[in-house]
């Protein structure tokens, strides 16, 4: 079977992404318009009369038909203009380019931590299933899944920032300006999000490793006299890596979603805080812009995961 | 805890406890805390991103905490009583009932060097009155025209005598923006590039993240401001904001809810300030539809509420029970009105019986779904139940709830919300208790004598006549029970020991005029 070139694959996938972006932004736009509450009231200020609110709708073009408003937004977005916040007037692209690195840093740290702890845990648990190591790992993993991230976050702040004063309690620093400070600020939120990821990676890896290790070819490898270490590293992990890539891609998406809460706890001006502010104030250009960015990120992550899976397992038809 | 412990010094406690002690010297508090020093950056945790940094186009009451630092106003107010006092205008007078003369302080310039003269003031007032994006047109409704009658004198022609003007000019409408900056701006506003004549000049604003301002070296008030600059970190989550102060990343946090009092008091490194404000929790009533179209039901509803207990249970005691829309320390407060709304569940039951209001009929009220609001609702439900009134809260986020209650939908019979202070009480009353006012949810009719009294309260500059007119207004509002005021929330501000010279004010919107930092 002839394999298509990676470039073609990527191009094809990006093309498929277009309807997804269109649908996602349209749905979010519709939801924002369906939900009661109106940015015109906010824009009109404290002393507003009905007439004034009507006037504001006209001034800001909020009285135009729903589809016209969406069309205008889309038309601008296609030309690379995500327009600006209705309230503060800041360009949405500016807000996003400032917020995105903060979110990206937290998610990266969380992912690294989750993998660095989850993978060894999964492996040691799978080597001797039902042994005490396995049981301990299971318990830790259950805790990781059960503990809400925001609670863990507050405990971490209370102990590590307020009591011990090791890491800052709130805020974010730019990675480009001072990488070390940026990481110090992102570490606690990263840990708070990583707990769930660690548990997920450990459990899934244990499960798939057990399946592989109990398969017939592994028995053959044992019979050939291969050591457990070699079987594990050369055959076991390679075979579960497809699962692992899938888990990671799902995890990244989940972690992105988790930032909405965690960023509020740590006062981090990232994408999560941005979309919350936009949604509460019905400032739809902001919400649309963030959704647009998130959809692209999710699609990219899934694409990379698929490409990696195909790279390690040629059976996967691209 | 004793009352006195809430204030850092006894002196301040005195100044606050009796609003009448307006004679406490301007620098009195400051001296009690040591000699003010220049320098340092004041780091503030702010709860909301401003809606705009242009006073004319912005809309949120929370914007003032930023605007006041960059824009000076034509008049200012006394911290304790909100009486207007000179600001950028050295003096003002009504030369006849419809002519208002403002004498502008000489030698003041905007941050961009533009002189702040009569031309600049006229330009600003006209813009505020007629720019399509201006949100403060209504504030200047009585101004027919503004003209320059001297290099430092502006004369306003009015449609009618408006004694509220000096108060109005201490707020958004009196914030002066550089005309040069306005003319140069593409959008016709300076929402993101504010240029005023205030104590601090604008440096940067990253939405939802940070606002940085630095000292205006040419500021007209001697030796002010003390800090080199202010950095506002925008932290909407208040518990997080408090943590940023306890952890030393910020110096001060304002607009804390009462439930944070115990939290901030637990920290030895923080000092806590509080004082009464005009911010009042209240239930807006829709008196255009049943059951509140019956005055007896409205009265019974008001009498069923035990405000003293409400303050203790819902607001940690950090509030003043409200029997009208003005707190005790306000200059126009009228003591006799407070007696009109006693806590009397038995009388409430009697009134309900007279009105043929069947016990157990559920009244739908609109409210907000956050933790604090729900707690307030639970207390009220219980209090009202004792008088045989069963209420149910239909909760929705603030924007939705307000739109549903005040807008076309007319959801519910009442809305448990709050009313923020206005610089002149006439605004508060005309915005809620006139026939077509937006905050008269049902647009229900009001007695002609109430509308007349509201008009009259603006029609004289004589404080005594005004006070009398307001007494009539307050009495008529409470006699008709058009609203159920609950409690005036105290301003709650926490800061570390470095911060000196902070004073709460009755408006409840922080001003940092005399704040300085100990190194």
Q: What is the pLDDT along chain B (519 residues), one digit of tens a residue?
A: 333 333 333 333 333 333 333 333 333 344 445 789 999 999 999 998 888 899 998 877 889 999 999 999 999 999 988 888 999 999 999 988 899 999 999 999 999 999 999 999 999 999 999 988 888 888 898 899 999 999 999 999 999 888 889 999 999 999 999 999 999 987 778 888 999 999 999 999 998 889 999 999 999 999 999 999 999 999 988 888 998 998 889 999 998 988 888 888 888 889 998 888 999 999 999 999 999 999 999 999 999 999 999 999 999 899 999 999 999 988 889 889 988 999 999 999 999 999 999 888 899 999 998 888 999 999 999 999 999 999 999 998 777 788 789 888 899 999 999 888 777 888 889 889 998 888 898 999 999 999 999 988 888 878 888 889 999 999 999 999 999 999 999 989 999 999 999 998 988 889 999 999 997
Q: How far is CA B117 from the centre of its chain?
A: 28
Chain A contacts in chain B segment 198-237 (CB below 8 A): 205-210, 233-237
For residue B150, list its beta bridge partners. B153
DSSP category for residue A235: I
- Residue B237 to residue A265, Cβ atoms within 8 A: yes
Name which of A47, A87, A169 is nearest B138 (Cβ-Cβ).
A47
Contact between residue A259 and residue A106 where contact means Cβ atoms under 8 Å apart: yes
CA-nearest residue to A43 within chain B is B59
Q: What is residue B21's predicted lDDT score, i.e. its pLDDT?
A: 32
DSSP category for residue B139: G
A48 contacts in chain B (CB < 8 Å): 59, 135, 438
- Residue B192 to residue A88, Cβ atoms within 8 A: yes
Chain B contacts in chain A segment 39-58 (CB below 8 A): 39, 41-50, 52-53, 55
Decide: residue A287, CB within 10 A, 0-12 exposed, 13-18 middle, 19+ buried. Answer: buried
Write A237-242 long-range contacts (CB < 8 A, 24+).
A237/A123, A237/A209, A238/A312, A239/A208, A239/A212, A240/A205, A240/A208, A240/A209, A240/A212, A241/A312, A242/A309, A242/A312, A242/A313, A242/A316
CA distance A34 to B304: 38
Name which of B50, B61, B139 is nearest A88 (Cβ-Cβ).
B50
- Our CA angle for B40, B44, B49, nearest 5°, is 135
- Residue A37 to residue B399, Cβ atoms within 8 A: yes
Residue ranges with strand state E in B125-264: 143-150, 153-158, 200-206, 210-215, 229-234, 252-253
To the nearest 10°, the Cα dihedral for B110, B111, B114, B117?
10
- Residue A277 to residue B246, Cβ atoms within 8 A: no
- Residue B400 to residue A36, Cβ atoms within 8 A: yes
H or E stretch including B493?
strand B483-496
Chain A contacts in chain B segment 134-193 (CB below 8 A): 135-139, 187, 189, 191-192
Tokens of A74: 């889309």
3-class DSSP state for residue B35?
Answer: coil
Would you call the peptide bond into B288 cis, given omega within 30 degrees of 0 as the criterion? no
Tokens of B444: 């229900």
């Amino acid at each position: 079977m002839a394999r298509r070139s990676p470039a073609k694959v990527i191009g094809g996938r990006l093309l498929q992404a277009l309807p997804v972006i269109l649908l996602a932004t349209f749905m979010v736009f519709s939801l924002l318009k369906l939900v009661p509450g109106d940015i015109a009231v906010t824009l009109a200020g404290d002393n507003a009369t009905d007439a004034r609110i009507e006037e504001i709708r006209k001034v800001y073009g909020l009285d135009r038909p729903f589809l016209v408003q969406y069309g205008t937004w889309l038309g601008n977005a296609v030309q690379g203009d995500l327009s600006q916040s209705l309230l503060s007037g800041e360009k949405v692209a500016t807000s996003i380019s400032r917020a995105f690195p903060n979110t990206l840093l937290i998610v990266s740290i969380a992912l690294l931590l989750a993998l660095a702890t989850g993978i060894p845990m999964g492996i040691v648990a799978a080597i001797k299933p039902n042994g005490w190591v396995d049981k301990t790992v299971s318990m830790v993993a259950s805790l990781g899944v059960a503990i809400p991230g925001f609670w863990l976050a507050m405990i971490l702040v209370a102990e590590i920032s307020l009591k011990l004063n090791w890491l800052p309690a709130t805020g974010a620093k730019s990675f480009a300006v001072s990488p070390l400070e940026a990481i110090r600020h992102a570490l606690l939120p990263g840990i708070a999000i990583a707990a769930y990821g660690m548990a997920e990676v450990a459990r899934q890896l244990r499960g798939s490793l057990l399946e592989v290790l109990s398969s017939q070819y592994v028995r053959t490898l044992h019979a050939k006299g291969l050591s457990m270490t070699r079987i594990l590293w050369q055959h076991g992990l390679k075979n579960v890596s497809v699962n692992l890539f899938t888990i990671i891609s799902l995890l990244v998406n989940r972690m992105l979603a988790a930032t909405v809460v965690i960023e509020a706890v740590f006062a981090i001006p990232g994408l999560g805080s941005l979309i919350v502010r936009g949604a509460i104030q019905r400032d739809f250009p902001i919400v649309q812009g963030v959704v647009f960015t998130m959809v692209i990120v999710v699609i990219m992550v899934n694409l990379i995961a698929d490409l990696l899976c195909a790279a390690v397992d040629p059976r996967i038809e691209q | 805890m004793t009352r006195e412990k809430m204030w850092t010094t006894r002196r301040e406690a005195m100044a606050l406890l009796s609003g009448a002690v307006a004679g406490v010297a301007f620098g009195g508090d400051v001296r009690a805390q040591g000699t003010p020093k220049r320098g340092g950056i004041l780091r503030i945790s702010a709860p909301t991103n401003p809606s705009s940094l242009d006073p004319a186009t912005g809309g949120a009451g929370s914007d003032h905490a930023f605007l006041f630092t960059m824009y000076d106003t034509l008049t200012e107010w006394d911290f304790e009583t909100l009486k207007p006092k000179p600001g950028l205008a050295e003096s003002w007078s009504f030369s006849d009932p419809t002519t208002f003369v403002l004498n502008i302080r000489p030698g003041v310039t905007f941050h961009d060097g533009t002189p702040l003269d009569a031309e600049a003031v006229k330009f600003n007032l006209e813009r505020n009155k007629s720019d399509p994006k201006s949100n403060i047109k209504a504030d200047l409704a009585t101004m027919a025209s503004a003209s320059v009658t001297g290099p430092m004198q502006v004369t306003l022609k009015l449609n009618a005598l408006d004694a509220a003007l000096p108060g109005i000019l201490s707020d958004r409408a009196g914030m002066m923006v550089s005309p040069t900056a306005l003319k140069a701006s593409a959008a016709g506003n300076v929402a993101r590039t504010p240029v005023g004549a205030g104590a601090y000049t604008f440096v940067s604003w990253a939405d939802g993240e940070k606002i940085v301002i630095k000292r205006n070296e040419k500021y007209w008030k001697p030796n002010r401001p003390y800090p080199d600059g202010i950095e506002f970190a925008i932290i909407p989550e208040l518990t997080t904001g408090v943590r940023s102060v306890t952890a030393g990343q910020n110096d001060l946090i304002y607009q804390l809810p009462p439930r944070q009092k115990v939290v901030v008091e637990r920290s030895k490194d923080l000092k806590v300030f509080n004082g009464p404000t005009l911010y009042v929790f209240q239930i807006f009533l829709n008196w255009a539809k049943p059951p509140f179209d019956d005055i007896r039901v409205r009265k019974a509803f008001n009498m069923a509420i035990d405000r003293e207990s409400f303050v203790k249970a819902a607001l940690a005691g950090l509030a003043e029970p409200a029997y009208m829309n003005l707190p005790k320390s306000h200059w126009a407060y009228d003591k006799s009105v407070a007696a009109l709304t006693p806590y009397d569940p038995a009388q409430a039951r009697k009134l309900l019986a007279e009105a043929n209001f069947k016990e157990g009929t559920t009244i739908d009220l609109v409210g907000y779904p956050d933790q604090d609001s729900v707690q307030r609702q639970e207390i009220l439900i219980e209090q009202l139940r004792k008088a045989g009134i069963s209420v149910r809260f239909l909760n929705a986020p603030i924007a939705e709830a307000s739109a549903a209650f005040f807008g076309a939908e007319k959801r519910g019979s009442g809305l448990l919300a709050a009313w923020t202070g206005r610089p002149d009480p006439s605004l508060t009353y005309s915005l809620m208790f006139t026939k077509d006012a937006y905050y008269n949810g049902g647009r229900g009719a009001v007695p002609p004598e109430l509308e007349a009294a509201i008009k009259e309260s603006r029609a004289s500059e004589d404080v005594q006549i005004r006070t009398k007119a307001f007494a009539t207004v307050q009495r008529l509002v409470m006699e008709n029970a058009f609203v159920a005021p609950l409690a005036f929330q105290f301003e709650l501000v926490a800061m570390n020991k470095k911060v000196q010279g902070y004073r709460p004010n009755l408006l409840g919107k922080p001003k940092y005029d005399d704040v300085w930092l100990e190194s």
